Structure 1
Amino acid sequence: MADWTENLPQAARDYLEGRRLDEVECIIPDLPGIARGKAVPASKFARQEYFHLPDSIFYQTITGEWGEAAGEEGFIEKDMILRPDMQTATAAPWTGDWTLQVIHDAYDRDGVPVPYSPRNVLKRVVELYRAKGWEPIVAPEMEFFLVARNLDPAHEIKPMMGRSGRPAAARQAYSMTAVDEFGPVIDDIYDFAEAQGFEIDGITQEGGAGQLEINLLHGDPVKLADEVFYFKRLIREAAMRHDCYATFMAKPIADEPGSAMHIHHSVLDTKTGENIFSNAKGGETDAFLHFIAGLQNHMPAALAVIAPYVNSYRRYVKDHAAPINLEWGRDNRTTGIRVPLSGPGSRRVENRLAGMDCNPYLGIAASLACGYLGMLDAQMPLPEFKGDAYVGDGDIPRVQGEALTLFDEATPLHEVLGHEFARVYGIVKRAEYDEFLQVISPWEREHLLMNV
């Protein structure tokens, strides 16, 4: 036991110091970003190099149904080989015993990475960058709502009860008083994050009632996606300790802003370590503009990945803190593509279109893929947008079905993300969309039942 625990990341070793490890959760993110896997006694984990799960976990819809994506062999649920990435070993501090979580990577029986495993998709995109001498850097921002417990899906979601005993109904963006309302939950989020070795760059109150944002420090895309994957779980666990839910739905409450996962991107030269978005004099480079053009040109097709559910498209509402377009601008939060204020060394591009409901591995992979294609295409973006971008018309798909059609036809994007991933993803998401279309909503019953 001591042999393998001595090589754990420092935070995991600190967590276990003077304690006996009881259990290891062997997990892998599926297409929605749900943790799948199994929990094993620590003694067994010490003896196993891998474990098996059926490949069908990647064919499952968010409702638990199945997309017909198994391929020529048919739906035989063949086993994948899941190998641990021990650099992802981290505490599960909300459990009743001393438990670690470890993210695993999926391989077939020949040792080839499973192409529709989300973590493998992101690794593929990062390797394409590195083959060009580029090192992609990202910084995600996570928005979410703390809401009252909701046991009946027929009931509307409501903000949680604050520390003062009043519901979190006030929209007080950046208010420290509003943050204090959720103090006990935030304290547990900080404690869990510290136990897991994660550094939070900041927590702010966002524009919605009970809506918070957590910023993470910039870094390697796979590492940051791992952290977002872990953070979603720890935030949910912290909330449930205080009789509320944390939700990462893109639009959980009508008339409130939606929740985004804004993704900041920069690209370093592998040899020099310099930001290729800035030249020697500190000015903007062609690569910087090409990256923006890539987002403008390819993001409509990628929207099906960064806005993966029917609910995702309810977020793109004019004047509700979410973009409705692919315009770009400097320090302009009404545009879908924003260039934040920064010095030359930290010049970056922010994609404001991704929803917090997306799988972090796939959302970051799709966004990087668009920028990568832009740098290969070497095209220039549209002129910078000045003023309020909500004044214009939207130029992104408004419904999931339209987005899926664009994704299915996006051959260049498939080349970057992987054709087999694109095939499986498209089938599973179509199955999910078809499931939704069988549901009759309260709006339809209210307005159509007696009027048409």
Structure 2
Amino acid sequence: MPPAKKEVRPSTRGTRTRAPAFLKNLRGVKSWKEASAWLESRGIEDIECITPDQAGVARGKMMPSSKFTSNTSLALPSAPFMMTISGQYPENGNGFEYPEDDGDLKLVPDLSTLTAVPWEEDPTAAVICDLVHQDGRAVEFTPRNVLKRVVAAYDRHGLKPVVAPEIEFYLVRKNPDPDYPLTPPVGRSGRPIAGGSGYSIAGVNEYDELIDDIYHFSESQGLEIDTLIHEEGAGQLEINLRHGDPVELADQVFLFKRTLREAALKHDVYATFMAKPIQGQPGSAMHIHQSIVDKKTGRNIFSAEDGSETEAFFNFIGGMQKHVPNALVMFAPYVNSYRRLTQAASAPVNNKWGYDNRTTAFRVPRSDPNARRVENRIPSSDANPYLALAASLACGLIGINNKLQAEPPVLTTANEDEIDLPRGLLEAVDLFEGDEELAGMLGRAFTSTYAAIKRAEFETFMEVISPWEREYLLLNV
């Protein structure tokens, strides 16, 4: 019997099918087909469909991933976007009217923001959504749409804004009772870290394991942290994000705030973005670096070919100087925000500008001409990133459009002079409502809604009796 012939199979070397590149994306896909494959490859069970409200808080719905990819219709009422931080609703008036039907708004997922939620035990993903009316029109008063409106205004002029936020925050001990002051957490040394630790590496190392989780959670979501430092306050840190598109960077700050809070809770502490969480300690800012690029040439319009400043550069600063005080309620949105804006402190209370001058509201850092930018140092870290970016860029564009002239730069300390900004929330709201050019840029449906919310929040604050009143008024008046 002849031996059996050995079967010769064709070689498969070099022909193995490679996984599509998009499956490796940490954040974002281009289509629903890619979304389905991306979710399946990670075994994702649940999807958080989220969108920022006026405070920057995530609102939305959670659903199984199979339902998410089956072309299901998502909707939210308008109520969450007309609500104060304490869950109340403003009174009608001054252009604001609460819709009688409170009809549904459509949630439209932006698949470019699809990312994992690394702190969840079950495989979970999140996607940021836009809000549109039933006929497809963008909802004018929602924060992400407000920022998109401002970016579109730049686009109509052939311009593209580029931004880089810097976010300061505090780590504090857990404090379930709001009647007690916040205190710094205990680090690995077993002692609470003291203030005056700006740029201290030892201060950062006090929270090594927590910071490792911050980096891990951020990397898992494709959040591009540039640097992390310890700031001046006790337990105060700052994280800088890499520069880029305003909407994308606002999305990153939105996700980053969630990430920080979750990482902190894992280590039994709070991360807070309050502007002034601890009495006697520095406030927390969200500085915004801004430059503008010509879309055709890719050139930074703040710099001429010879490297000198352009007229557009000075016009942008002129717009900031004129309109930022009127937009302050978008940079300092709460009563607590104004505790940070005090004379002779690290936060500016002026509308001046200078070269590498940190006492001015608008600082021009030292840089090469192609990286020339304007840093807005007024916003506090409690600001909604979408609204802070929208307001800052809107003020600059108004300056460019109207060819507003900047005042001369300040070469000395500017924060000990007269205060150029509103001193409180109601004064800021009054100025905000009176700026017609700003309202035209941001959208009147938004400005009337936002102003009504801020007035309602102030009235809620006035119902609370503070420790200062009990200490100094109880037995003395």
TM-score range, shorter chain: over 0.9
Partner SS, residue 110 of structure 1: coil
Residues 426-451 of structure 1 deviation map (CA, whole Å, 9 limit, x = unaligned): 11111111111121111112111222
Where does residue 146 of structure 1 map in the other structure? 171
Q: Does 1:11 align with 2:34?
A: no
User: d(CA) in 2 for partners of 1:327 and 1:388?
Assistant: 11
Taking the aligned partners of 1:450 and 1:119, their CA distance within structure 2 comes to 49
Does 1:197 find its partner at 2:222?
Answer: yes
Q: Distance in 2 between matches of 1:354 and 1:8?
A: 37
Match of 1:40 in 2: 63
- The corresponding residue for 1:116 is 141
Alpha-carbon shift at residue 319 of structure 1 (Å)? 3.3
CA contact (8 A) 2:96 2:452 kept: no
Query: Do structure 1's residue 289 and structure 2's residue 289 form an aligned pair?
Result: no
Structure 2: how far apart are the matches of 1:9 and 1:404?
46
1:68 to partner: Cα distance: 3.4
1:184 — aligned with what? 209
Structure 1 distance, partners of 2:375, 2:157, is 22
After superposing on structure 2, the runs of 4+ consecutive aligned residues of structure 1 that deviate more than 4 Å are 5-9, 12-18, 69-73
1:413 aligned partner:
438
Aligned partners of 2:85 and 2:388: how far apart in 1?
A: 17
Distance 1:442 1:97 in 2: 43
Are 1:301 and 2:287 an aligned pair?
no
Q: Which residue identity lines up with residue 11 of structure 1 in the other structure?
A: L
Distance 1:149 1:15, change over 3 A: farther
Moved more, 364-373 or 312-321: 312-321
Q: After the TM superposition, which residues 112-261 of structure 1 pair with which residues of structure 2 at under 5 Å, given as runs?
A: 112-261=137-286
Of 39, 49, 53, 1:30 maps to: 53
Distance 1:46 1:200 in 2: 30
Contact 1:401 1:433 in 2 (8 A): yes
Q: Are residue 53 (structure 1) and residue 68 (structure 2) matched?
A: no
Unaligned runs of 5+ in 1: none
Aligned positions, number: 448
Give the C-alpha shift of residue 182 in structure 1: 1.3
Given that 2:195 and 2:232 are in contact with CA atoms closer than 8 Å, whether structure 1 keeps it comes out as no
SS of residue in 2 equivalent to 1:391: coil
Q: Distance in 1 between matches of 2:462 and 2:100?
A: 25
2:16 counterpart residue number:
none
2:400 matched residue in structure 1: 375
What's the offset of the Cα at 1:76? 2.5
Contact kept, 8 Å, 2:160 with 2:292, in 1: the verdict is: yes
Change (3 A) 1:59 1:43: same
Structure with larger Rg = 2
Asked if 1:436 corresponds to 2:461, the answer is: yes
Q: Secondary structure at the match of 2:257?
A: helix
Matches within 5 A, 1:217-366: 217-366=242-391
What secondary structure sits across from 2:415 in the alignment? Answer: helix
- DSSP 3-state at the match of 2:336: helix
2:3 is matched with which residue? none
- Residue 420 of structure 1 aligns to which amino acid in structure 2? A
Q: Is the 8 A contact 2:218 2:259 kept in 1?
A: yes
For 2:463, the aligned partner's letter is Q
Tell me the equivalent position of 1:21: 44
1:67 deviates by 1.7
Query: 2 CA distance for matches of 1:6 and 1:77?
Result: 43
Q: Does 1:97 align with 2:112?
A: no
Give the drift of 1:78: 0.8
User: Counterpart of 1:38 in 2: which secondary structure?
Assistant: strand
TM-score (ref. length: structure 2): 0.91
Range 386-395 or range 131-140, more displaced: 386-395
- Given candidates 68, 75, 87, the residue that maps to 2:112 is 87
2: CA distance, partners of 1:383 / 1:222: 32
Unpaired segments ≥5 residues, structure 2? 1-19, 29-36
Answering whether residue 429 of structure 2 is matched by residue 404 of structure 1, we say: yes
Offset of residue 18 of structure 1:
5.3
CA displacement, residues 177-224 of structure 1 (integer Å, 9 cap, x when unaligned): 101011111100000011001111000001100000000111000000
Q: What amino acid is the match of 2:277?
A: P
Cα distance change on mapping 1:49 and 1:348 into 2, 3 Å: farther
The aligned residue for residue 452 of structure 2 is 427
Amino acid at match of 2:293: L
